[in-house]
Structure 1
Amino acid sequence: MIKEYEVFETMRFISSFHRARGSEEYKSLVHKIVEMLIQWGIDRKNIDVLEYPTGGVKYGNFESTMVWDLKDAELWLENPRIFINSFKACKTCVLFGSNSTNGWLSLKLVDENYQGDLSNKAVLISENPSKAFKKYVKTLGAKCLLVYYMRSQDESIGRIPEKMPNTVNYLSLPHTFEDSKYGAFGFSLTFNQFKLLKEFANKGYTVRMFIDSELKTGTLQVLRVRFSKNTKKKIGIVAHLCHPNPGANDNASGSALALHLCKELNNLQLDVDVDVLLLPEFYGSLPYAVQNNYDCVINLDMVGEDQLKTGATLLLHETPFLLPGYYDELLYESLMMCAPISSESYNKRFFRIKFKSGSDHVVFENFGAPSPFIGQWPDRYYHTSEDTPDKCDPGMFKWIGEAVLRTLKLSHDIPKHIKELSDSKVRAFLLNVENRPGAGLIKAMIERKNHISLVEPKKKIQPTKEGPLGYEWLDKIGDLSDKRYIIDLGEILNIGARYLNDYDACVTFASNYLCIDEKEVADVLDLLIKNDFIEHDT
């Protein structure tokens, strides 16, 4: 039985750490979690801490980042002397991946309208820092960026600058091995701080700052807890542990619930093997998935939301039809059966939706494991200084935890009605694509009849790298990058190319699954081929 307030306290404990992947604080947290698991009675020999190199290493389409350790930082406006922020006051105020300033610096304050040398200026901007890095740092020679930028704005839940004027967004500078050589650094500002500094920009005023940090090559840690009876089926439970402090919902909530599932699994006799994994998102799951296979992986990401405070809805993201959907149906049934009820009705928002990208489930699906994803979205406080424990609801931990446990208990022999329900949805999809280009290949792949050996691809394609497509390709597609569904479409095309190996079948599958015009799908696939993310065998 999941004890929701114990999970809540573990979430609070995890959120107190500044969990930059590979950092000393991340390693310290992993060490303390291992101690906690042993105290719960879990045998030390069933706990592994696996390490993978990072910095100057590429995993699939993901260029690994440097290990970032941040000790302290401050930012002031000079003359008039006004305190802006510090690392001690707010852990998200330093742009993630910032280089050290090597002591105090005084820099002239300018904005994007300034014409001239930027090398000894602090540039005030309001745009995505990754894009700004390419323009102001790599092209124009700037070192320091002062940024206000709120991603995923949503007026319906109050996630707009005007309603969150004192919130600091968690923002990053590119900090791969090559990017770190530019020596860039900077701060993330509140909306009010941005407006204040805007009044002083380009008028000869200076800002004074220091950042005490280190960027270095190192290793990333993946914590694995094994519950093995040497059965024929192995299931993974995954949550990403990395995130700046506080990061309560994202993703201390998923990590805390995964740990308390360990506590329950230690006392259960299951007919499946289970691995519980806490890891750095993408950068840990990708090298791990290359070496480890699962029949199913359940991804827990942002599961703890207090829906009244965050505006969130619990979502079950389904596995694409190219992989078995039995576990999706079983997990959905379990979530419905365990859902909290008051006054004879459900009292939480909950939907199931088609595949969406953006978390570790995409990694495991690229390695053949159906991976239903449980998370909450949208979230007013996502990637901000206000993603704090008070925004979590203990009841969510009990609901989702009990549903996952029920799914594990039944997954050794999927109930007949679950199989029939899943199969009926597959048949309906196949009817929808019938007589479309590549339909035979799609049918052979989905029905798993001799895999796809009986149907040969006509226009053979395949991904050029292992694992997910990632995000680099978005820089190469122009206006298409603004389309709401473009990241999901890219990943579906990557998965389609991996399992169908056929151009027409991939277009037919993606367009019908995501309900997007075939011409637009083909255009995106052509761009992926043109930019060498997918190979086309002519």
Structure 2
Amino acid sequence: MVYTLLEMFREIMEAVEEEFSGLAAHRYVGEIIQYHRLQASPGYRRAAEHTYQKLLDFGLEAKILSYPAREGVTFWAQPSFQEWEAREGVLHLLEPESRKLADYREIKLSLIQRSAPFEEEAEIALLEDGLEVEEYEGLDLEGKVVLTKGDVRRVHYLAVERGGAVGIIYDGIKELPGLERHLDDALQYTSFWWYGGERKCFGFVLSPREGERLRRSIKGGSVAKVRAKVMSRFWDGSLEVVSAFLPGESDEEVVVVAHLCHPQWSANDNASGSATLLEVARTLHRLTLGGRLKKPRRSIRFLLVPEMTGTYAYLAAHEGRLPQMIAGLNLDMVGESQELCGSTLVVERLPGSTPAFPGDLLERLLEAVADAGVGGYPSFRHGSTPFSGGSDHIILSDPVVGVPSPLLIQWPDRFYHTSLDTQDKVDPQMLGRVGKVAGTYAYLLASAEREETTWLAWEMLTRFKERLVRLVQEERRAGREVVRKVGRLQNQGILGLRSLRRLADIELKGFESELSSFTQRELKNVPGLRNEEVKRSENEWEEEARRLVPRRLYKGPIRVTPYLGRLGTDERERWWRLEHRYGNALWYLLPLTLYWANGERTLHEIVDLVEMETGKRAAELLVTYCRTLSDLDLLHLLER
């Protein structure tokens, strides 16, 4: 018998909806944003202690786990860094007029986070972006402060490391594709990241309006001089992960994660995800304690982490538990008022290298909640997107980690990473919707047995058919070869169905047979279909990729950024060019490269797989990335 979602799970969804309070979660947001929650800092620690106490007050088992925050420590291949705090940060303009430009005491984002201590006067040197070496020709930056709209890491390298500048003033706002921001009075969240060996400096952040005023003065011929005072310190300290536990009948776990970090205020990013996690934990504890829902088969683990770093640290410390973690969910930026922020609530699907059941379930639950509006029409904007990385789920969903974890996020957000990400942009009703989805998702997977797993198999089969039909139609219109893409989708569909055996030992032969038969029927509908290899002219990068077989040495994605100081000048410049060319696409192209590296595939095969998944053919990037990791002893490269 085939059940509908509400027939199968109405009791759970209704119970979660009745117990979960969006208003309470909104209040938690207000509590969390009182703390300046920079990773590895006293402010973050206070936020961790606050949320830990709330979890205890709710009646859950909870603890704070500490990991070393110091140079020379790695969690798998992710380097740690020193703890930091600032007690004061003030920037005064002295010439051509006298006024205060920035004050950390008033707005925490006024200071570039992790600024080094400094107390002197300095002249301002004007840059536009400061990204190209040529822009520095003829400039004497020794002892000066540069004013820039460019990437702070790049400007630090060129202006401070190589040019002798003592500090940076940043006055930009990063653009978001497809969304006009017009935030002339906002401050951009900006931070240094020190991993060891860098020449530390200080920095301040101005709004675009204040920056333009200063730029006009300098362009008019005036000499601009500032006095900067930064009282800060670095030390070997700790970073904290808050772990709470809802026990089940077995040693298996469902993991719900949200990052607790980011500077004050950072309400949607990510006090909203952290607050939702807290209320989901309270809700499920109350429902199971009171008997409304039975004790689940599997436990549910709730993790509040410093983004990325904390997830690496926790998983590396609990590597032996990974096989028991059957699935996860990442809650990041979930509370946006869509009207104010221009956001859409989306499920980011799993990477193609990790075909599994959680993504389809989360999509179905989100649709069920959205379609509960008047007349069955969606009550808010929602959708799903391919894997794009950028948050903690990229670590969990790595095939060698093996905890398939979709992301639930509102994107884009007009106020993302700015001083205007405040509590008034958080919608209690949206928190309630997300809580209903997340709570139902976690409990369903924790309690699923044969009946629920069989329903999920039908759901996955239905969604596979929808994706296949859409793929074939799109490829027909574009006149492109489809056989390989369809074959890849079919293989992922079968592997996704087989992942259900982590929930229950159900019979899958009929589902797999129907999936394969449907695939063949759809392919027969494509006129003039030819199973031919795509022919393309190959450059030196494609040829080199054919000779290389990458073998992984570490679990988890690996970023080059923490290791830039170990690269030579030419290698660093080459890497910057690729970063600049590909931009945010690196957040998914690089993880996918490692995900597909199983020690047998050539890098050329991986280039093909990444292209099929993303539409981007990036042989030069992937070869350079793997060569760089190999030079850093982070990846083993076999040459054929």
* TM-score, structure 2 as length reference: 0.75
Does structure 1 residue 489 correspond to structure 2 residue 589? yes
CA deviation map 1:236-257 (0-9, x unaligned) = 0000001000000000000011
CA–CA separation in structure 2 for the residues paired with 1:439 and 1:418? 18
2:521: which partner in 1? none
Distance 2:599 2:453 in 1: 27
Residue 509 of structure 1, aligned match among 609, 617, 628: 609
Would you say the 8 A contact 1:321–1:446 is kept in 2?
no
Rounded Cα–Cα distance in structure 2 between residues aligned with 1:272 and 1:447: 20
Seen in structure 2, the aligned counterparts of structure 1 residues 139 and 459 have a Cα distance that, compared at 3 Å, is closer
Does 1:158 find its partner at 2:211? no
Aligned to 2:457: 419
Residue 509 of structure 1: how far off its partner (Å):
2.5
Separation in 2, partners of 1:117, 1:216 = 33
Q: Aligned with 2:122: secondary structure?
A: strand
1:172 aligned counterpart, secondary structure: coil
Q: Given the alignment, which residue of 152, 156, 166 partners 1:133?
A: 156
Mapped pair 1:284 → 2:307 = no
* Cα pair 1:461 1:503 within 8 Å, conserved: yes
Would the aligned equivalents of 1:98 and 1:173 in 2 still touch at CA under 8 Å? Answer: yes
Query: What is the alpha-carbon distance in structure 2 between the residues aligned to residue 400 and residue 436 of structure 1?
Result: 33
Tell me if 1:523 matches 2:620.
yes
Q: Which residue of 2 aligns with 1:23?
A: 41
SS in 2 for 1:199: helix
- Residue in 1 aligned with 2:409? 375
- Equivalent position of 2:12 in the other structure: none
| Conserved 8 A contact 2:62-2:243 | yes
Contact residue 66 and residue 216 of structure 1 kept, 8 A: yes
Q: Is the 8 A contact 2:117 2:233 kept in 1?
A: yes
C-alpha displacement of 1:480: 6.2
SS at match of 1:485: helix
Aligned partners of 1:348, 1:437: CA distance in 2, in Å?
35
Q: Secondary structure at the match of 2:272?
A: helix
Q: 2:386 is matched with which residue?
A: 354
Structure 1: segments with no counterpart, 5+ residues? 451-456
Cα deviation, 1:48-82, whole Å, max 9, x if unaligned, reads 21111122123344332321111121111114211
Whole-angstrom distance in 2 between the partners of 1:508 and 1:25: 45
**Structure 1 position 137, deviation (Å):** 1.0
Task: Determine which of 54, 57, 62 is the counterpart of 1:36.
Answer: 54
Question: Contact 2:77–2:558 (CA<8 Å) still a contact in 1?
Answer: yes
Does the 8 A contact of 2:360 with 2:463 survive in 1?
A: no
Which of 258, 263, 272 is the matching residue for 1:253? Answer: 272
- Amino acid across the alignment from 1:141: G
Distance 1:495 1:166 in 2: 41
Contact 1:433 1:509 in 2 (8 A): no
User: Which of residues 233, 248, 252 in structure 2 aligns to 1:233?
Assistant: 252
CA–CA separation in structure 1 for the residues paired with 2:599 and 2:345: 29
Partner SS, residue 497 of structure 1: coil
Shift of 1:406: 1.6
Distance in 2, Cα, partners of 1:36 & 1:438: 46
- Looking at structure 2, the residues matched to 230 and 401 of structure 1 have their Cα atoms a distance apart, in angstroms, of 24
Q: Percent identity?
A: 23
Letter in 1 for 2:622: L
Structure 2 residue aligned with 1:537? 638
Unaligned runs of 5+ in 2: 1-18, 128-134, 289-294, 473-481, 502-545, 565-571
Cα displacement (A) at 1:31: 1.5
Does the 8 Å contact 1:314/1:375 carry over to 2?
yes
* Aligned position for 1:271: 297
Query: Residue in 1 aligned with 2:113?
Result: 96
| 8 Å contact kept, 2:41–2:85 | yes
Query: What letter is aligned with 1:399?
Result: R
SS at match of 2:112: coil
* Alignment deviations for residues 137-181 of structure 1 (CA, whole Å, 9 cap, x no partner): 111111111112222334x5331xxx21111101112322322xx
CA RMSD, 1 decimal? 3.0
Larger Rg: 2
Deviates more, 1:441-450 or 1:319-328: 441-450
* 1:184 match: 201
Match of 1:82 in 2: 99
> Which of the two has greater helix per residue?
2
Show the counterpart of 1:408: 442
How has the CA–CA distance of structure 1 residues 409 and 482 changed in structure 2, closer, same or farther, with 3 Å as cutoff?
Answer: same
Look up the SS of the partner of 1:346 in the other structure: coil
TM-score (norm 1): 0.88
Task: Give how far 1:303 is off.
Answer: 0.2
Q: In the TM superposition, what is the alpha-carbon distance from 1:98 to its structure 2 partner?
A: 0.3
Q: Distance in 2 between matches of 1:204 and 1:464?
A: 53
Say if 1:437 and 1:403 are closer, same or farther in 2 by CA, change over 3 A.
closer
